[in-house]
Amino acid sequence: MTYTGGGGPEGRSGEPQEVPSCYTHPGRVAGALCRRCGRPICPDCMREAPVGWQCPSCVRQGARISPSVRWQPRRRGTLGATKLTPFVVALIVVNAAIYGYEAGHPAFEERFWLVPFEVHYMGRWYQLITSAFLHASVEHIALNMITLAIVGPPVEVAIGRLRFGVVYLLAAFGGGVAFYLLAPVNDAGLGASGAIFGVMGAYYVLARSRGWETQTITVLLVINLVFSFSVPGIAWQAHLGGIIVGAAACAGLLARGRRPAGITPTGVAVNLQALIVLIVGVAALAALSALPPGQVHL
């Protein structure tokens, strides 16, 4: 095939000019040159690139040598605007199922709720975490699960399922340890609010780190903390411990360390970081729970 340039049927030079053919489909007119290798490509072979077009071969080659990015925190997030996520749904289902059993078995509740005296003198250390999956009433579990459904999904989307689980469980443990240390030794505590306060703390850390809007979560945290300290019968100790541990755990998961700018951590590196945060958090909280209960006064 031939084409003619401007200025007449023979072009400016007076010579017929040959139309380049696609290097993978001989006989087809090329519509562009590959941005990477410079070879002519037809419309069927044109793959859009950040600048210009690339051929399929160069696209495949680029995919092989480019790192696989498995974790990219979002830059924007809004409370209540994210659909329910898998780990949040699983937590809601587990809490609801346990409450359904707990409601008909008072002895089960009394064994697994958190009483500082029993933890220290009867060796029921598991209460530090099991109490976070028990609730006192339908209103209690409903309020906690609704809050989790609002705050949890944007955090899970931003940091991933595994890391969200680390934050939630560490915050639940932290809330239990704080109640153990700060509450009277014979008080009983139960509820997921310590863990949920931890998720709110994690959301605040993410909002500050990723440039999200922070006014809503700040108001929500202030209202809940004031409510916690002013209303009798609320385990403010667990709320305080949960928010501190949840925020600290999220900050640890987001820590970049010494890494060249523009380099994104691989999935293995991020999961290893989550494991380290989990181990350090559990070790620190276990050390605190070795202290006698009710000895810290705020």
pLDDT tens digits, one per residue of 233-245: 888 999 999 999 9
pLDDT grade, residue 282 (50/70/90)? very high
Poorest-pLDDT segment among 57-61, 77-81, 166-170: 77-81
219 and 147 together in one domain: yes
117 and 229 together in one domain: yes
48 domain residue, yes or no: yes
pLDDT of 62 > 90? The answer is no
Classified as helix, coil or strand, 2 is: strand
Each residue's pLDDT tens digit, 182-199: 999 999 999 999 999 999
Classified as helix, coil or strand, 164 is: helix
Region 48-75: mean pLDDT is 62
Partners of residue 32 on adjacent β-strands: 41
pLDDT of 264 > 80? The answer is no
Q: What angle do CA 126, 172, 70 make, to 5 degrees?
A: 120
78 domain residue, yes or no: no
pLDDT of 80 > 80? The answer is no
102 and 191 together in one domain: yes
114 and 18 together in one domain: no
137 and 258 together in one domain: yes
Poorest-pLDDT segment among 14-28, 67-81, 254-268: 67-81
State which residues form the domain around 169: 86-281
Q: What is the pLDDT of residue 10?
A: 44
258 domain residue, yes or no: yes
Q: What is the pLDDT of residue 97?
A: 96
Q: What is the pLDDT of residue 256?
A: 76
167 and 52 together in one domain: no
112 and 242 together in one domain: yes
Percent share of the chain, pLDDT over 90: 52
- Longest CA–CA span in the chain (Å) reads 102
Q: What is the pLDDT of residue 8?
A: 41
Total domains in the fold of the chain = 2
92 and 199 together in one domain: yes
67 domain residue, yes or no: no
Look at 8 and 33; give whichever has higher pLDDT: 33
The domain that contains 143 carries what CATH number?
Answer: 1.20.1540.10
65 domain residue, yes or no: no
Whether 132 contacts 144, CB under 8 Å = no
Rounded to whole angstroms, how far apart are CA atoms 167 and 165? Answer: 5
271 domain residue, yes or no: yes
Rounded to whole angstroms, how far apart are CA atoms 80 and 154? Answer: 8
Look at 134 and 54; give whichever has higher pLDDT: 134
131 and 48 together in one domain: no
Whether 250 contacts 199, CB under 8 Å = no
pLDDT of 174 > 80? The answer is yes
Q: What is the pLDDT of residue 73?
A: 42
pLDDT grade, residue 228 (50/70/90)? confident
155 and 245 together in one domain: yes
Q: What angle do CA 121, 125, 127 make, to 5 degrees?
A: 110
125 domain residue, yes or no: yes
55 and 193 together in one domain: no
